[in-house]
Each structure stands twice: as structure tokens, then as C-alpha cells.
Structure 1
Amino acid sequence: MNTGAHPDDEHSAMLAYLSLGKGVSTSSIIATRGEGGQNEIGCELGNALGIIRTRELEEASKACNVTLGVLSESPGDAIHDFGFSKSADETFRKWGETVVYERLIRKIRELRPDVVIQTFLNEPTTHGHHRAIAILTSRAFTDAADPLVFPEHEEKGLKPWQIKKLYSPADADDYHVAVPVGDYDQTYGASYLQLGEDARFMHKSQGMGVHYDEGPTSNYYKLESSIHPVKDREPDYFDGIAFTFEDLALEIAALHQQPAVIKSLLRLHADAAEVLAAYPRFAQVAFRVHQMKATLADAIEVVRQSGLTEEAKVDVLHRLSVKEAQLNRASREALSLVVKLKPESGELVAGQTTRMAVTVYNGGSIDVLDLKLRLQLPEDWRSEPLTEVHIPKLGYNQTGSATFEVMVPAAANEFRPYEPPAAVAVVQYAAFGTESFIRVAPDMQVAVLPAYSLTPSPAATILNTLHASEEIDVKVAVKNYRSDPSRTVITLDVPNGWSVEPATCELSFSFQDETKSAAFTVRPGSTVENGQYMIRPIARLTDGTIVSDKDVRVIEYPHIRRTYHIQPAQLTIQAFDLRIPHNQRVGYVSSGFDNIDRYLRQIGVNCVNLEVNEIQYGDLSQYDTIVLGIRAYGFLRELTCCNQRLMQYVENGGNLVVQYHKPEDKWKKELAPYPIVLGESLIDWRVTDENSPITVLAPDHPVFHTPNLITADDWRNWVHERSIYNPARWGSEYCELIATSDPGEPEFRGIFLTAPYGKGTYTYSSLAWFREIPALVPGAIRMFVNMISLKR
């Protein structure tokens, strides 16, 4: 078992070596869904990003044949990625130390790993989430075996479990085990390092994955705790631990007088050797696998009837159950059976009747007998076969199938992204006199969705209290998920004292997935105070019954299958006073990872998207301000080449605003008119406390006065973090605008830098604008407007 805090924390090369190379049952236990990270493939943040990262983690785990467990159970869970943390204490306060520890202990008792490897060390230079999981993993070595720790687990059938060895990452100078991840596996045509990176490439939203050449290399690990005496060096993790059925038989022989159990385990050991020896002759492998399945069934019964202690019996039966699942998969692969579940539609609504087909294709040379096809569905769903579900024999190149009518109950739960698949095909069959099972989920997600998805546009906006009487135009995109023609009435729920026209909008739909829109004009009340307001679209039947108040966000990228984020349908309105310069034209160079330009347009800024080729060849003088989106130099390579044109733009009187970059984003100090050197450390050059006190270093600077007067209130209610990847050094030409820090740490004075250059102004800011602006933080928006209004 490998434990970590976020998707992409797993030690992929090591897991590939153990699982794909050594056949070890491996698991990856991750605490959060990664919802606090950044997104390199789109603009999804928060829970939507967590859904993406979870799907990426699932695909990465599948690539390495790793069992995945995530401690965070639902969007909004207490165990969440709340952004970078500098301490385990802060992490425990926000997660709930007991909550996360109980779930970790539960996973250990469910999976019963002999060896646990923590991904990170508990060191001050390490992310607080990583430190927290390292602390709990270390503590679990003792506590998972203690029946007094979370005794409620035993009531659910989970017995205490003693981990045998606990390892942590190390280096070549001080280690106990070297894992040769550079070894080349001829079966896969790659080294385990390369196989691990194939899995890491699935974490595309985090920009993971590296191309490595072939050649020897090792990962190193240090033994932290062990129930065995510690040696200076070990040949592998399993030194002193039963690794094969023969080892297990010898271990039982030394502790128990159970000759029948020992004999069964030795037979399994011999059968396993014959399975391996038969590879790659698939028919022979299938024969040996089913021979071993018969031996396994006998062994399970022998152990159940044996005089082993209860603790030993539970342990051996668990290991045999793991082997049973492995043999079922080996049977399917060796027989070349392809099972598919094909839903008529993956998008269902409560109360709907649909059809699903289960198909089985035999691509191997062995006849498969007595096939039984069925569906595994949620408890309150019903299914009826419309065709024969029993196939007496399926030969080479033949396909068998069964079609089912599926009734989704009217009270069916809506889709939840982190729950197991709603529909699974189960195929039972016989070969060589023994039975086996295949369970397969459909390629498409089967999701129960609201009858209608209501997506307001805009999703969030600002009401400028300097012009509070202005009307707000609201459009609601309504998508029909019902399979039959229908009608619905759309209304808006608005704050008290506000009005909306028209009061209702009736829409009719002819087919599933049809989308129409409803347009409304909202008029705020006669007096609007600063604060947050909500407008909520609602879909009703003609008799007034509410049928939906949800917004279904479809999330789909090529490397992950389609999934959904269902959330309350609402338009958030942040009311505050905001002055915007007239006749200002702003060019925004987006790297694709933020949507600040969209919000600038919403508040009335004349903001247009500026492509790199326009910077190379266009007339930049038409823009009063040019803003570079987050990490623009890292993802728009041509931008570095034409940076001199940006510098000329500033020299000629332009206002250039550059947002944060990572050191690895091809940032060079020469990209700025005067040097800016970014801090290299992951933890040292950031302010994670979004409420950190702000000291204004240049109170008379125009950025704090024009066009909006910035006060202490504007630094309140920020979200997630203050700043990231701060500069470490900068030229004396820059004016340091603010200073802040996390508690107990030295102040950062390079977070917000500006300098005159020629006739214009250059500003570099590592404040987390990309989080604050979409969250409609008033002070951040007022400050950003001032920043893009700087003119000499």
C-alpha cells in the first residue's frame, strides 16, 4: 500500500514494478480529490477539478493495475484539498484529524497490506497535506493492529491488522531497499519507470508525465518500522515476509499444526508455477488457471474447517479471496473473453425505463460453457430480461448477448461522481470444469440526472452599487434529459424587493438532449446594500410541481470518459461599489487556465482576447493595458520570442500586467524590464493564509487610489491563498506595493511590484487573482481594476 495526499502523489514507477513486474497485490490510498490544485487543461476549479483529478487517478491506477482508495468520500467532504498548507496542524484542523485517521485505518483493515510505503516525509519543507498523511501512516503501523482503536470497525466485520513493514522515501546514501524501476520488462516492452510514467501522463490537469530513456535506475526506501529485526540492507520489501503460497505454508507449519491447510497451500504454489510456465500459450494458461481455481475452492473450504486460530484463519482467507479475484481476471484474459455493457443511453432520469445489453465475445480457441448474463444494479432498481440470458456454449469468434429492460425508480438518487458505477454486467461461465465470473462497467457513465439542467448565464456577476438601478439580463440554458416529449415552466427566484420579467417562461421539448433558453430581466430593489445575493432558476411542471433546480455540468476530456458535476442552479451576485475608467481598452493574453478576462467583460471593462500572433505582428498601441494570464510564458512559447515587442509597448507608454509564473515556466529574469528572480522552493515562496495581514508599503501610489480608493476592507474575505510562487529578488527600480506573510514567517515584499519603464508601466503580481476574481472577492476586483488602469 502506497499512501499519499493528492491525486498524482502515488509512486507510479514503484507501483508498476510491484504490480506489473512482481504480481504483488498493490493499492494506492489517497486522501483528497485534488480540488484545491491548479488546472492545466481547462478552467475547472474546486469540486469540478476534483472530479477531473479523480477520474485521472482512476485511469492512472488502472494503467498500473493498482487498487485505488480515496479517503474523501464526496464533493464537499471535510477531507479536501484546500490549497497549499505549510503545516500538518492546519491540515488536521481543516480535515478533522480523527475523521481522516479513521478512514485510513479502515482502508488498512480492509486491504490488509503486508507493506506500507508512505509517499512523503514529515519534514518542514513539505506540503502540510503530505506531512499529515505521513504522520498518520506512521501512527497506523501500531494502531491498525489495536482493537481498541476504532473498535466500531469490528462490528462491520473488519478485524485489526498488523502491518509488517513501513517504508519512507530515501536516497542512495541511506536506504534499506532499492527498487530497480529501470529494469526492462519484455512482456510490456518498457521499463517500469516508463510504465509508471505512462500512468502519470494521465494526470494531464497537473501537467504530469516525463519521457524517460531506457537504462538502469532505482528508487530508494528506508525502513521506518518493522515487526522483524531490521537489517542494513534488504533484497526487497518482502524479506522475511511470506511472498508465495509455499512461504505461507512454511509460516503456518512453524506456528500451527494444520497439515491439511499446509497441503492445500503447497498445491496452490505448484498450480501457480504451472500457470506461469504456460505463458504465453493462452489455451494452456486458461487450463492451468481453471485447474488452480479448483484447487483454490478446495483450499478455502479446508481453511474454513481448519483449527487455525481465528486471526490466522481471517488472514489466510483474505489472501485466498485476493487470489480468487486475480484468477477470475486471468481466466478472462487467457480465454480472450470480451464482455461489454451497452446502455441505450448513459443519461437517465428518475422514473425512466431504458434498455441495456450485455454482450460476450469469445476470441480464444477454448469453448466457454454455461454462460449466464445478468445486471448488477442499485438495490431499488429493477430489471427484466427481454431475451434469453443463458448461453449453453460460446465458441471461437462467436458473440452472445442478452437485453434487459431497466426501470429506474422515481426516487432514484441523482448521479454522484465518487460512487461505484450504477450498472455493472456480470457474466458467469464455465471452462475446464470450473466456474468463473466477469464484472464489467460500461464505457460510458450511467448517470441519473435531473429532468432538466438549468444553467444561468452569467453564472456569477457583479452589481455595481454606484449604478444599482441597472437591469440584469439573465439567460437560462435549459437542457432536457427526459426521453419523451415534455413541457416545463421556468421561473427565477429573486431576492425580496427585486422583480423579474417575464414572471414565467414555458418551454416545450421534443427529444432528449434538446436545449432551449429562457431570457429574463431582473431589476434590483430600490436600495441595494453591499453584499452577496442569489438568483435561482427553477423548472416546474404546469401544475407548479418543482422538477429541477439543478445545473448539470458535463465534464469531458479525451483521456477521461464523460462525467458530470451536478450542483444547485444559481446566479451569484456580488454587490459593491466599483469605478471603471471610461474608454479603456484591455488586451488579455490567456494561457487557457484562468477566466479573468470573462469577468473583466462582465464588470464593464472593454477587454478583448489577444493572441500571440497579434503581439508578434499587430498594433499594440491600440491597447491601454495588456494583461498576461497566469503562467503565460510557460504555455505560450512564442510569447518569449516576441517579448521584446511587449517591452517596446511599455516603453511607448503601454501598461503591462504580468501575473504569476512558476520557475519552470521558462521564466527568465530578463523577461521583465528589470530583473525579477522567482523563488525556487515549493513551500518557502508563498503565502497560504488568505487572511494574512497586509502592510501597504506605498500608500500614495495611484494603484491604491485610482479609480477606486483601496482600504483595509479590500484585503478581507479573500479565498484559498494570498500569493504563490513569489519573487525572491528583484531590481531596485521596482516599487514594492505591499508586504505580507504567513504567521511567524518573514514578510514578502515582492508580491506586488510595479515600475515605470520608458513612458509606460510594468507590473508583476503573484497575488492569486485567478482564484479571487472568479470568487467575486470585491477588494480583489477593485484592486485589479486599479492595476489595469495604471498610466503614466
Structure 2
Amino acid sequence: MKKGTFSKLYTLTAAAALVSSLLLPAAPGTAYADRGVVDLWKAIKPLTTIASAMNTGAHPDDEHSSVLAYLSLGKGVNTFSIIANRGEGGQNEIGSELGNALGIIRTRELQEASKITNVHLENLSEKINDPIFDFGFSKSPDETLAKWGEQVAYERLIRKIRTLRPDVVIPAFLNENSTHGHHRAINVITVRAFKDAADPTIFPEQLKEGLSTWQVKKLYLPANEKDYTVSVPVGTYDEIYGASYVQLGEESRFMHKSQGMGRIYDEGPSNSYYKLDQAAVSIKEKESDFFDGIAYSFADLAKEVSGQAGAGGIAAELKKLQKDSDEVIAAYPHFADVAKEVHDMLADVQKTASDVKAAKLSAETKTDLLYRLNVKADQLNKASAEALSLVTKVKPDTGELVAGQTTKVTVSAYNGGHETIANVSLKLNVPKGWQAKALSNASFAQLGYNQTVKTTYEVTVPANAALFAPYAAPSLTADIGYSFAGQAAQVHATPSDAVAVLPAFSLALSPSATVLNTLKPQDPVPVKVTVKNYNPGPAQADITLNVPDGWSVEPKAAPLSFSAKGETKSVAFTVKASATVKPNKYTVTAIATSNGKESRHGAQVIRYPHIGTTYFVQPAELAIQAFDLAVPEGLKVGYVSSGFDNIDQYLQQLGVNVTNLTAKDIESSDLSQYDTIVLGIRAYGFRPELIPSNARLLKYVENGGNLVVQYHKPEDKWKPELAPYPIKIGEPLIQWRVTDENSKVTVLAPDHPLFNTPNKITEADWGNWIQDRSAYNPAQWGKEYIELISNGDPGENEFTGTFLSAKYGKGTYTYSSLVWYREIPALVPGAIRLFVNMVSLHQ
């Protein structure tokens, strides 16, 4: 993309150049501020069609962003993105969060991405530790659905389809061997759902709850330019948005920063291709559009309805709505004129809905019409607020609450347009069991240009309020009602950031996971507990540790006093295991006791500019894995972190002297002072000093050093010649990994020091691994390397390049594709014992 055009995506100039809400990051909830004629167009374009489309995927960032932008922003189609899990099993390119904490980040990124393309987002995964979890790479849809619970996933997908009633459904991926098993699983259940969502014998309990069956009109699969039914012109340049749909789609993809997504595209023609797989309407071999043969406008809907007995009046009203929508578009970009036409159409939609309820239509037709009219009413309410330049806000005094607290929340409405708004009401919505009392008038006769009305509510959180759940709907929202041109409307508002009920005392243990060496069972385990006071004022608490039976802790308790909310203090404990401790897993829990109430949780604050602030509330626990472990005395390791792992911290806990090497260290310091240098996963791609300094690293080995290199992708600037003897990574990457963490491992060089010193590695050490065995295995390597293990997924050829080691000069170079960065934080004993051996070579 040319520099000037890229700038245009961010700062539109002149009249057509008011800053677009699509492109301005702000806080969550109102992440893209409503700005001018561009967002007015975005609000009214959906009024021109009654069609809908759904894209299904497995992970955040799976969505077909360009096509979603084309459908939603370009055509105004009511567009849905249904994503299965939260991406908990992925890597993190912006921080060290993994697992559930990463899932929270990726969910927030997906929410912000969906706002850019004006897409309605839903997830099949409903809560932390949901069955539909990103458990890591899978080669099989059967394995994926077995782990998720096939009926659980399928029931939720059918529920989404029956609730949202899409005309067109498009799974993001094909069910083919070269594709991630999670992607294949979503394809499998989406294709199956085409018929089953319309079958009343499938999940009949949903119908008893009030849902209706729904027959999707068409299902398309991704295709290519040689074999397709529909070509989607995503390269079309939209003058109002000042970008093509590819570029708009990539703006949303840039929000997936933790996955390194988003690319810059030049202007010019481009297309996405889809093949029709199933249809419930008449079809053609080549179609001009997804919606060929499907009612697309109110006029089309009127034609469909007119064929039913007694539906003439309804058909006429639908034709009137077609005229209304045309008049709204014709009034653009004049705000007041658009507002008048929007309110006229809103009145007609409400009248039509009332008449449909009273009409003698089939139940199926009536349900369909009422659903579509309800969608249009919601869209008209949003368009009304945009056309009237009505700015609504929900502002709590604090977004960090505790059970039993009373706080204040202000709901406001500002009129930035030149038309007077009447009958304004400001209503705050709170969860069941909460109390909200308006401290001032919540109704106002009128609201003129450049005026603000506001109401402050006193909100009381119940003593038994549940702690914050990051995937739940916002706890505080507001409905702002008003009227204009004789027609009532309403806008729904949410706070700009998360409002969270947090532990009164948030507890964080350091370390949060550690090893107890059963060769030295009486070595003390130092534990620091950091306590943050979330109470609204001064508070006192006694901090204690709950330890396993037979263990001891000093001190027994530590009193802490806090003078204000937000104050943080720490207390140190020493934990000792019983003399007879056995290899096993143990848990130490921190407890804060105040006025007879206990806090046993910590609140991890997750804050990034592109997603705002949210929280991960979890039990305040220290996980301890006890096992035998020999660590050489005085072992000195230089660690080159890529930012994707924290193995260095665990090595320090084990008693290894670890130095995190800076760019200056790598470029010019005396590397010979380190017994071993370890490169973190993908380090060459994210530490720019490594490639120019690679000769120094190899010289370090040649002079007697021990260099350990963890896995890389080719796109991490990896070249075979970076190793002392060439190592080529296998491609396609999807085929060069072992996803079964329980797969059999055969040791090919049992006498090698890596399996004997200082820890004797046995078959048991390959047990209880998590998520994967290895990723991005080499396909070719120099004959100088010793192949240390053989391993593969069941039924597939085994890899022998997963773990390679070679003498180079006086030293040793080891390249490993084993997923250490997952195993070691999970305290997998065998992985830790083997990693210690690897960094102890020549000791």
C-alpha cells in the first residue's frame, strides 16, 4: 500500500474525510468512537437489506475478514461471526500470558476486530475452562470434537443458527488433511447443521425453550478461482470508507496483535471465491452474489409474502418499508433529514410488526417476519442515535468493585445535533440482586443542541456477588429512551471499560508454580504473597497460607493494614515439606481474612492499549511439583528470550544462575563466561541482533560453549546455515509436528549425556506431557548431528529430527523442537529433568 493511502485509512480529509470510527482505537465498549458521515453511512446501510450471513471459525482470527467487511460494510448485510474457542492454546506475541489469560486477550482482540467490520460476534465457548477449549494443535476433527464434547459443541452451534437465523452460512475452512483439526471440526458441524437446524427432532429441548427451527438457504465452502460458484469482489474500493474491503478487513486483523496478524495491501482488484455446497433454494452454476434466489430487500420479502392468503396488507406494508429505506439513503449525508426518515421508517416497522402479529399467516412466516422486523428496529435505533448525534455514556466512579460495596454510576446523554430531542429517559440496568437508586431526576422533557442531561445512580453490590467473569455480558448497562419527530427510540449503552467485582484482597503468590526437589526435601520454599486492597477505603487483613498436611509454614499469619484502595503490600513466608514427602503434585493456597470473611483469589490485571483493561480472577494458589532432580552446582546460563516463554524464571527457581542477555551482551560481551546459552522459541525472528551476531554464537560453541536453540519457523528468519551444520525446517508446517502429548518416544542414543547426566532419563520422563510433543520439526539436517529421539503421532511416520545435537569444535550445539515453553511452566517432571540435562552438557 502506498504511504499516502495508508495514512488515508487513519485520517480521512475534507468533507468525506471525517475520522472513521472503524479506524480509531479507544477504550473497550465504545472502542471505535462514533464519528461523522462515515459512521452515519455505516449505521444506515443495513436498512437497505433484510439478508443475513454467518461465518464460522474455530479460533479468534479465523474469520474471513475481507468478506465480512464486504458483506457488512459494503452491502449492509446482517453479518455474524461464530467462533468456537477463545484461542487459549496459541502463542502470544505481545506478552507472556498463556492459557486462559491469553484466551481473555484474544477474545478482547476479536471483539475489537468485530467492531471494525460491524459484525455481530458470538462464541461457542461460554466461560473460563469451558469444554470447547483451545487444547493446542490437532490433526483430526474427530479428536477435536471428542475433546470438546461433540454434542456440546453441536448443540451450541445449532442454537446460534436457530437464534440468529442466517440466510447464508460460510465455514472458514475446508475439512482437509492439511488443515488444523479445530478448523476441520467446525467445518464438519457447520456442514451438518445446514439440515439439522431445520429438523425439529434435533435438540427438541431448544424448541420447548421458545426457539424455532431454521432452514439456512445456502451453505458455501472456501474455493479458488478455478472452481467456484461465487466470486466476491473484496478488492472493490469504497469511496465513503476510503479503502477497499480487503484493507478494511485487514484493519480488523491488525487488532489480533497477540497473534501478529494484519498486513498492508495495495489498492486494486482482488476476489475471494466460494463454492456452493448445499442449498434450499433454486441455484445456478455461476452466481453473481451469495444472495441469488434469496429475498434480499423488503421488496423481495413483499413478493414472497404476497403469495399467501390474506397477506396482501402485509405485503403492501413491506413495500412501504422498501420506500422508507430508499428515502433514508437518499437523505444521506444530511443528518437532520436522515434522522427524520429513520424515525418515519421506525414507526412503519413497529406498525408492520403489530399487523404481522394480528395477521392470519402461517406460524413459520410470522416468526420469520417478526424476527427480521425486530432486527430492523434495532438497526433503526442505532441509526437514529447516529443521525441525531446523540452521545450516550455510562460512567461508574470506579470499575473495580467488591462484594457489598456501594458506588455511584452516572448515565448521560449529549445532543451534538441541531435537532431537539424530547422525552429523554436515562435508565441504568444492574444484575439481579444488585440495587440501583437514582439520586436525581432520570427523565427530561427535551435535550437541545450542545446540551447534556445526566442522572447519577447509587449502586449497591450484594454481599454474595459473583466475582468477575471475563466472558460474561457487561454487569452495568443503560437504556436511553427519547423521541424525535413523534416517534420513540432507544439506544443501549455500556461503560467504556470492564466493570468488575474483584476479591476484597487480591492475592498473588510468587512463585505461582515451582519444583520441590525430593532429593533435598527439607530445602525451604520461599513464598511471597502480594496483596492488593480493592476495598473502597482503609482495610486490615490477616494473611495465611494453607499448606498440605504435615507441612509447615512460617509465620503462621501476617497482619496487614491498608490505608487506601489500590494499596499493595507483600509478606514473605517460608514453607517446608514434610521429611517424608513423596513425588506428587501439591497446592499451597493464600488466604486473606478480614471481619470473618475470606479472600482466596487473585485478580490478574490484563491491560493493553488496543483492548483496554480486563481481569482474570483465579484461585490464589502455588502449584508445587515434587520429584527427584539433580542440578549441577554453579551452573551459569545466558538466556536469550524472544518474549514468548518464561523458562528462564523456572531455571532460576531450580538454582541455576541465569542471566537474561541483552542485545549488547550478545553483540559484544564475553560469552565464554556462560556454561550454556539458550535461545528461546523463535528468537531469531524477534531478536534482531541475533542474525548479525550468529558468528559470535557459533564461535562461542567452537571454543567450548554449549548452545541450545529452541524451535523456529521459517518465517522467523531461520536459515539452514544459522546452525553450524545445516538444519532445514519442514514445510508445510502443519505436517511437521507431533500433537499427541502421550505419543511414544523412542530414545535413539541412550548413552548420550543428555539422557544420563546429571539426571537419568527413563520412559517415565516422557509421561504426563501436555498439549503437544513438538512443533516445526526439521526435515533435513547435516550428518554431523546425533538424532536423539524418534517420535510421531499414532499412525504417522515418526520424526527423527526433533532433538538434534552435534559437537562443533570443543563445544556442543543442540536444536530441539520439543515444546519446552509449555511443558516447563506446567511443571512436567520429565521435561524439566531433560532440560536441566540439556543445559548441563560438559559440566
TM over 0.5: yes
- Look up the SS of the partner of 2:122 in the other structure: strand
Q: Which residue of 435, 438, 441 maps to 2:494?
A: 441
CA distance in 2, matches of 1:244, 1:373: 34
Does residue 678 (structure 1) correspond to residue 729 (structure 2)? The answer is yes
Pairs within 5 Å for 1:586-601? 586-601=637-652
Q: Which residue of 117, 132, 151 maps to 2:170?
A: 117
Residue of structure 1 equivalent to 2:598: 547
Q: Is the 8 A contact 1:588 1:626 kept in 2?
A: yes
CA deviation after TM superposition for structure 1 residue 254, in Å: 2.8
Q: Which residue of 785, 802, 806 maps to 1:751?
A: 802
Does residue 658 (structure 1) correspond to residue 709 (structure 2)? The answer is yes
Percent of counterpart pairs with the same letter?
61
Q: Which residue of 497, 513, 521 maps to 2:574?
A: 521
Q: Which residue of 100, 109, 119 maps to 1:56?
A: 109
Does residue 13 (structure 1) correspond to residue 70 (structure 2)? The answer is no
Please list the CA deviations of residues 324-356 of structure 1 after superposition, one character each: whole Å capped at 9, or x if unmatched: 111111111111111111100000011110000
Residue of structure 2 equivalent to 1:624: 675
Residue of structure 2 equivalent to 1:90: 143
Residue of structure 2 equivalent to 1:215: 268
Pairs within 5 Å for 1:237-636? 237-541=290-594, 545-636=596-687
- Look up the SS of the partner of 1:261 in the other structure: helix
- Look up the SS of the partner of 1:268 in the other structure: helix
CA distance in 2, matches of 1:540, 1:411: 16
CA deviation after TM superposition for structure 1 residue 484, in Å: 2.4
What code does the residue aligned with 1:716 have? Answer: G
CA distance in 1, matches of 2:632, 2:663: 26
Q: Is the 8 A contact 2:308 2:361 kept in 1?
A: no
Aligned residues: CA RMSD: 1.0
Please list the CA deviations of residues 273-303 of structure 1 after superposition, one character each: whole Å capped at 9, or x if unmatched: 0101111111111111011111111111111
Deviates more, 1:742-751 or 1:407-416: 407-416
Residue of structure 2 equivalent to 1:766: 817
Q: Is the 8 A contact 2:637 2:676 kept in 1?
A: yes
- Look up the SS of the partner of 2:470 in the other structure: coil
CA distance in 2, matches of 1:588, 1:446: 39
What code does the residue aligned with 1:300 have? Answer: A
- Look up the SS of the partner of 1:273 in the other structure: helix
What code does the residue aligned with 1:630 have? Answer: I
Q: Which residue of 722, 728, 732 maps to 2:783?
A: 732
Superposition misfits of 4+ residues, deviation over 3 angstroms: none
CA distance in 2, matches of 1:649, 1:667: 19
Deviates more, 1:484-493 or 1:744-753: 484-493
What code does the residue aligned with 1:701 have? Answer: H
Does residue 782 (structure 1) correspond to residue 833 (structure 2)? The answer is yes
CA deviation after TM superposition for structure 1 residue 412, in Å: 1.1
Residue of structure 2 equivalent to 1:130: 183
Deviates more, 1:120-129 or 1:251-260: 251-260
CA deviation after TM superposition for structure 1 residue 467, in Å: 1.1
Please list the CA deviations of residues 86-134 of structure 1 after superposition, one character each: whole Å capped at 9, or x if unmatched: 1011111111111100000000000000000110011111111111110
What code does the residue aligned with 1:786 have? Answer: N
Residue of structure 1 equivalent to 2:42: none
What code does the residue aligned with 1:104 have? Answer: L
Please list the CA deviations of residues 148-202 of structure 1 after superposition, one character each: whole Å capped at 9, or x if unmatched: 1101111111000000000010000000011111001111111000000000111
What code does the residue aligned with 1:560 have? Answer: I
CA distance in 2, matches of 1:519, 1:635: 36
Residue of structure 1 equivalent to 2:24: none
- Look up the SS of the partner of 1:269 in the other structure: helix
What code does the residue aligned with 1:754 have? Answer: S
- Look up the SS of the partner of 1:27 in the other structure: strand
What code does the residue aligned with 2:754 have? Answer: V
CA deviation after TM superposition for structure 1 residue 311, in Å: 0.4
CA deviation after TM superposition for structure 1 residue 475, in Å: 1.1
Residue of structure 2 equivalent to 1:742: 793
CA distance in 2, matches of 1:541, 1:274: 64
CA deviation after TM superposition for structure 1 residue 256, in Å: 4.2
CA deviation after TM superposition for structure 1 residue 524, in Å: 1.4
Residue of structure 2 equivalent to 1:177: 230
Please list the CA deviations of residues 348-386 of structure 1 after superposition, one character each: whole Å capped at 9, or x if unmatched: 011110000011111111111110001011121111111
Deviates more, 1:582-591 or 1:98-107: 582-591
Deviates more, 1:599-608 or 1:630-639: 630-639
CA distance in 1, matches of 2:562, 2:146: 49
CA distance in 2, matches of 1:180, 1:612: 46
CA deviation after TM superposition for structure 1 residue 574, in Å: 0.9
Q: Is the 8 A contact 2:282 2:293 kept in 1?
A: no
- Look up the SS of the partner of 1:598 in the other structure: helix
Residue of structure 1 equivalent to 2:46: none
Please list the CA deviations of residues 621-640 of structure 1 after superposition, one character each: whole Å capped at 9, or x if unmatched: 11111100110011112211
- Look up the SS of the partner of 1:74 in the other structure: coil
* Pairs aligned (count): 790
CA distance in 2, matches of 1:188, 1:480: 46
What code does the residue aligned with 2:768 have? Answer: N
Q: Is the 8 A contact 1:589 1:612 kept in 2?
A: no
Residue of structure 2 equivalent to 1:706: 757
CA deviation after TM superposition for structure 1 residue 435, in Å: 0.9
CA distance in 1, matches of 2:164, 2:302: 21
Residue of structure 1 equivalent to 2:738: 687
Q: TM-score with structure 1 length normalisation?
A: 0.99
What code does the residue aligned with 2:120 have? Answer: T
Please list the CA deviations of residues 500-551 of structure 1 after superposition, one character each: whole Å capped at 9, or x if unmatched: 1111111111211111112111121122111111111111125xx3421111
- Look up the SS of the partner of 1:776 in the other structure: coil
What code does the residue aligned with 1:614 have? Answer: D
CA deviation after TM superposition for structure 1 residue 85, in Å: 0.5
Q: TM-score with structure 2 length normalisation?
A: 0.93
- Look up the SS of the partner of 2:735 in the other structure: coil
Q: Which residue of 65, 69, 72 maps to 2:122?
A: 69
CA distance in 1, matches of 2:244, 2:692: 37
What code does the residue aligned with 1:69 have? Answer: E
Deviates more, 1:462-471 or 1:217-226: 462-471
CA distance in 1, matches of 2:566, 2:526: 25
Contiguous gaps of at least 5 residues in structure 2: 1-53
What code does the residue aligned with 1:718 have? Answer: W
Q: Is the 8 A contact 1:424 1:442 kept in 2?
A: yes
- Look up the SS of the partner of 1:638 in the other structure: coil
What code does the residue aligned with 2:382 have? Answer: R
Q: Is the 8 A contact 1:246 1:269 kept in 2?
A: yes
CA distance in 2, matches of 1:297, 1:682: 55
CA distance in 1, matches of 2:486, 2:420: 12
- Look up the SS of the partner of 1:419 in the other structure: coil
- Look up the SS of the partner of 1:637 in the other structure: coil
CA deviation after TM superposition for structure 1 residue 612, in Å: 2.1
